[in-house]
Structure 1
């Protein structure tokens, strides 16, 4: 049975993505820092195996161990999705260096930690996906660290894709060009559908960055 691990799982896009995979019969592994949020999400995933771990997703020890534990329990990783980022309202004159580094550890570092931990359980055909943002190209100066995170995330995804391609594993970042909303184009469900579709691109026409919409 195919398995997905979602890092930074919660009630938004990642929750919608988890339900999409569960609806297709996939086993689901969830990693996040809020046990209540993980439990609430797990309760919506019906008829499939669900495993969850609470961890600091940016910590190379606890975050990495959580992903390793889930991969070992599920026996395989067909898709690894990395979702977390930090919104901190601070412009470049107010943003402290230590806060920027902490934010990048979550918004970019979590991807690095998760892929290194999951890689031994991934084989040809496996995919890595990440939730990107237009902030990578059009940063809002009053939340400067978010643009840095999303630009770094996309850059790392491209490097990962080139590194993993010889093994038949591909990586993709979906750049969401709008703000999440409860209706219209940018609902969590529609963004999740775009992320799922991005992992199922034709390998011969693969793009490591896909824009939505």
Structure 2
């Protein structure tokens, strides 16, 4: 049997890279999708050097056709997807009086809409026990007015995760977002590695007590 596979959408340095390493240590193969080649290639080469089987692709995840094709191709090569992790969001330093409608919609397309593309692409390769995880943020509940679109994205993606979980659970596939109640840092409770550990644990909840949102407070 092939090794289990995690598909990381929005791959690069930070939480997504830490999560890819965490699953690699647990024996998973890794598929990476990112919008910039250099960080995706660097992460893939690092994982490969450690003995992990890695596939990767560069795609604009807001381009639904290109993103769906890239993700489907990666999943088809493995023939299975055991975990899909969704990490993208857009940080735009504009308050609500500066933010334009087209900018808000573009950010939501990245931070929320692209999750639909990813899930729909991997669903044919998921069986009972597969999981969808999403990096959430306290911005969903405590938005910073100077980056107004971020809170909208994080509230939206958390809401979408609840709908996905309700839709998928009948087939034994579950979805969860982890609301990170802190700012990422190089030390302490909110390092990318610590947040990745929280995401890893969230995917392994007991099915009987499954929660579609978990709060990580460090």
Aligned to 2:45: 43
Deviation at 1:37, TM superposition (A): 0.4
The residue correspondences of 1:118-197 to structure 2 (distance < 5 A) are 118-197=122-201
1:198 equivalenced with 2:202 (yes/no): yes
The residue correspondences of 1:80-119 to structure 2 (distance < 5 A) are 80-119=84-123
Q: Give the secondary-structure state (helix, strand or coil) at the position aligned to 2:30.
A: strand
| Mapped contact 1:19–1:44 kept (Cα < 8 A) | no
Aligned to 1:7: 9
Aligned to 1:65: 69
**TM-score normalised according to structure 2 size:** 0.97
Comparing 52-61 and 188-197, the one that deviates more: 52-61
> Aligned residue pairs: how many?
213
Comparing 199-208 and 58-67, the one that deviates more: 58-67
Q: 2:181 & 2:69 partners in 1: Cα distance?
A: 33
Q: Give the secondary-structure state (helix, strand or coil) at the position aligned to 2:186.
A: coil
Q: 1:16 & 1:94 partners in 2: Cα distance?
A: 34
Q: 2:119 & 2:106 partners in 1: Cα distance?
A: 19
Unaligned runs of 5+ in 1: none
Q: Give the secondary-structure state (helix, strand or coil) at the position aligned to 2:198.
A: helix
Deviation at 1:67, TM superposition (A): 0.8
RMSD: 0.5
Unaligned runs of 5+ in 2: none
Aligned to 1:32: 34
| Mapped contact 1:8–1:32 kept (Cα < 8 A) | yes
| Mapped contact 1:59–1:113 kept (Cα < 8 A) | no
Q: Give the secondary-structure state (helix, strand or coil) at the position aligned to 2:176.
A: strand
Q: 2:28 & 2:206 partners in 1: Cα distance?
A: 21
Aligned to 2:21: 19
Q: Give the secondary-structure state (helix, strand or coil) at the position aligned to 1:125.
A: coil
Q: Which runs of 4+ in 1 moved over 2 A?
A: none
Q: Give the secondary-structure state (helix, strand or coil) at the position aligned to 1:41.
A: helix
Comparing 102-111 and 39-48, the one that deviates more: 39-48
